[in-house]
Chains A and B, each alone.
Chain A
Amino acid sequence: MDYASAVSQAPTVPRDAEPFSPRLGRVGSVDAVALEARAADLAKRSIKRESKLQALELVVRMTDLTTLEGADTPGKVAALCAKAMRPDPVDLSVPAVAAVCVYPTMIEPARARLGSSGVRVASVATGFPSGQYPLPIRVADARAAAELGADEIDMVVDRGAFLSGRYGEVYDQIVQVREAIGGAHLKVILETGELGTYDNVRRASLLAMAAGADFIKTSTGKISPAATLPVALCMLEAIRDVHLETGRMIGMKPAGGIRTSKQAIQHLCVVNETVGPGWLTPDLFRFGASSLLNDVLMQIRTQKTGVYESPDHFTID
């Protein structure tokens, strides 16, 4: 199916779209200054006491505990899985995280370790992080990851195609990956740090959702800037618009650069006041992070005991 007809059937475009309205007619534009001002404003919400503890526990539940290194080994992944299932061995009331996120070769060890704990296995795929490989290889990569037992596939979009204006290609590629992974959950990484403008972030968000993404994700974590609050706001506004138009609820995952509880809670405030409290669940919002979890565990303990404990009391995995 060619791009124009695919997009005109896609759920981001209203069925009764006028023939002369531009394709992806409601992409609209984003004003950078005002977007950043709004994000900065939301970052000033002051979350205290019980609402803070509630938020911190939610952040744990929303975490995709991540290791994406060339040096990853089954041993390293096993340690991470142990942490994922029981983040704070001292306080068993702290819930497990949502998923561990690994490279495809680490799916099997992760799967074995996590068993029936309910913690999911997410795998990056499609030539992560650059995506600069022939399409058949990228699609095969995603298919293999699904077959190896990944519950969730984090694919990267072809930024080269996107930035040269070949949106149709990007769309078709996502559709092919969607088909290749069967019932697995699809997260589409836009790599916003390479897109250059918020207009592009919005366009890529709508494109990915139209092509069948379950989640849209900011970054690979390999490029700076990664997840910033204005980018999250921009993507959430696109998610909200799709929801209001079609009823579809698409998830969102900021990844890379979120290291503190404060940043995570700021993101929750943006979620709460942009798409609404319906998105305050791990089914619709995730944090892709590695060092964030320990800071959150420290803050939870502080909230419960009133004192800050040394970082030495929290495991490094």
Chain B
Amino acid sequence: MTDELEQRHAAIDWEYASAPESRTIVQFRDRYGLVIGGEEIDPASGEWFTTASPATEEPLAEVALAGAKDVDRAVAAARGAFDGWSRLRPAERSKYLFRIARILQERSRELAVAESLDGGKPIKESRDVDLPLAAAHFFYHAGWADKLEYAFPNRTPRPLGVAAQIIPWNFPLLMLAWKVAPALACGNTVVLKPAETTPLTALMFADVCRQAELPAGVVNIVTGDGETGHALVQHPDIDKLAFTGSTEVGKAIQRELAGRGVPHTLELGGKAANIVFDDAALDQAVEGIVNGIYFNQGHVCCAGSRLLVQESVADTVVAKLKRRLSTLRVGDPLDKNTDVGAINSKAQLDRIRELVASGEEEGAELYQAPCELPEHGYWFPPTVFTNVAQSYRIAQEEIFGPVLSVMTFRTPAEALEKANNTAYGLSAGVWTEKGSRILWMAERLRAGVVWANTFNRFDPASPFGGYKESGFGREGGRHGLEAYLRFDG
């Protein structure tokens, strides 16, 4: 063959050129104060902290560290706004929520870039999951605001009052939407405390509220650390507490609230089983496994962190999974082709490393995707542990990182027993082509959500929440409204 002909048949060595989303759409200010009573104010504490990008460690902005006095002012502002907001014609509340939803859509690129910068998640996830779902939650609850009596026939729903809400760092704006939308739809006012490492989109949301001309004091935002959250929980004038975060903190909150008569909903940790039967569509199951544990770097409370696979197909599934791992693109969260972004914080990275070390020590077999990790920032490669025993820490404790533990089973009964053998109960996945088996499993799995032949699917109409140490109360759907209402005549 001539050179020319050879060239014509040659395979190309194809690397995707970097395709970064432009960050010029976001202009962070140097400093963000607290948003209380419709004003941005400096903290009485006089303290500030820096929020940085976990992908580069680059500081992004200074944020107020709210102390007890600031929390007190925020609760007072919410209390002050409650009367007007709760007496507003429900159809008017609806309009505000619609307006917020529309503005979230209009500003979605800006907010998605901010979310990826501050939190480290890939832009394709913040763009295609976080932002559309956050807007969807406001749209959904806008529809309920003037129809609450139809949601609860023959009962008289009334708002609770001031809702204190503490949200985590894994889906900052989405968790805000899960909390704020139903609270406002039901006529409550809000004091929201975003996570320490990801406060920026909540502060930008304050600007969305201003644009929507939401009455002052209806949504108040206090940034800070664990102490700020503690002050909010302790505040005597809150009427409701909603928390999403770790089981450890959830338990502390429950102790704090004991005997105070403050209704609360807790959405805590998980150690979900993703169960693959031998008749499943294996290639799609592998996609579901990948999505289940590597989506958002595994920083997902309902992540499918335990893979239970039927022994007869275990080798095939693990081989397919390892192969698939090598195509995951780990790196710059703003690159549109990135599949797995940065670990949210140094502290979280340390915890992941510690648990992975324990897995190796206990005798599990480690496999990590071959990938180059950036020099700066916090990174962890997609990881699979095989030969995992039910008793290992990596099979029991929530890792909250891109680490999967693979175990096998022989019969449906054994799969069920192993899946339920955990202190948690937030979610589970079942992969089989057999419909009757899906129903059999779903009836018996002690988990708030059971996905069949899919994983990590969310919808505002579908209630989400846990069994056992994964918490209680539901968010989303009609069930989610109930957590922001009282029915005592």
The residue in chain A whose Cβ has the minimal distance to the Cβ of B16 is A51
Q: Pick from A34, A118, A278: contact of B454, CB below 8 A.
A: A34
A96 within 8 A of B: yes
CA of A45 to CA of B124 in the docked complex: distance in angstroms?
A: 10
B165 within 8 A of A: no
Chain A's nearest CB lies how many Å from the CB of B418?
Answer: 23
**Interface residues in B16-40 (C-beta closer than 8 Å to A):** 16-19
Please give, as numbers and ranges, the residues of chain B lying within 8 Å of A47 by CB-CB distance: 16-17, 19
- A31/B14 contact (C-beta < 8 A), A38-B287, A44-B124 known: no
**Contact in complex: B284, A31 (CB < 8 Å):** yes
**Contact in complex: B9, A281 (CB < 8 Å):** yes
A52 within 8 A of B: yes
Chain A's nearest CB lies how many Å from the CB of B29?
Answer: 30
Chain A's nearest CB lies how many Å from the CB of B311?
Answer: 15
The residue in chain B whose Cβ has the minimal distance to the Cβ of A60 is B8
Chain B interface, number of residues (Cβ within 8 angstroms): 33
Interface with A: B66-74, B173-181, B275-283, B387-395, which one? B275-283
Q: Pick from B284, B337, B453: contact of A46, CB below 8 A.
A: B337
Please give, as numbers and ranges, the residues of chain A lying within 8 Å of B18 by CB-CB distance: 48
Q: Pick from B19, B124, B279, B284: contact of A34, CB below 8 A.
A: B284
**Contact in complex: A278, B284 (CB < 8 Å):** no
Q: Which bracket fits the contact residues of A?
A: 35 or more
**Contact in complex: A46, B282 (CB < 8 Å):** no
**Contact in complex: A51, B281 (CB < 8 Å):** no
CA of A83 to CA of B317 in the docked complex: distance in angstroms?
A: 47
B288 within 8 A of A: yes
A33 within 8 A of B: yes
**Interface residues in B227-282 (C-beta closer than 8 Å to A):** 279-282
Please give, as numbers and ranges, the residues of chain A lying within 8 Å of B280 by CB-CB distance: 29, 31
B443 within 8 A of A: no
The residue in chain B whose Cβ has the minimal distance to the Cβ of A42 is B327
**Interface residues in B118-168 (C-beta closer than 8 Å to A):** 124, 128
B12 within 8 A of A: yes
Please give, as numbers and ranges, the residues of chain A lying within 8 Å of B283 by CB-CB distance: 28, 30, 35, 237
**Contact in complex: A45, B453 (CB < 8 Å):** no
**Contact in complex: B14, A55 (CB < 8 Å):** yes
A49 within 8 A of B: yes
B347 within 8 A of A: no
**Contact in complex: B281, A31 (CB < 8 Å):** yes
**Interface residues in B284-311 (C-beta closer than 8 Å to A):** 284-285, 287-288
User: 9 other contacts beyond A45-B337, A244-B319, A281-B12, with CB at 8 A cut-off?
Assistant: A29-B279, A31-B453, A34-B287, A37-B287, A48-B17, A95-B7, A95-B8, A277-B11, A280-B11
Name A's B-contacting residues (CB within 8 A).
28-31, 33-35, 37-38, 44-52, 54-55, 58, 61, 95-96, 98, 118, 237, 244, 268, 272-273, 277-284
Name B's A-contacting residues (CB within 8 A).
4-5, 7-19, 124, 128, 279-285, 287-288, 319, 327, 336-337, 433, 453-454
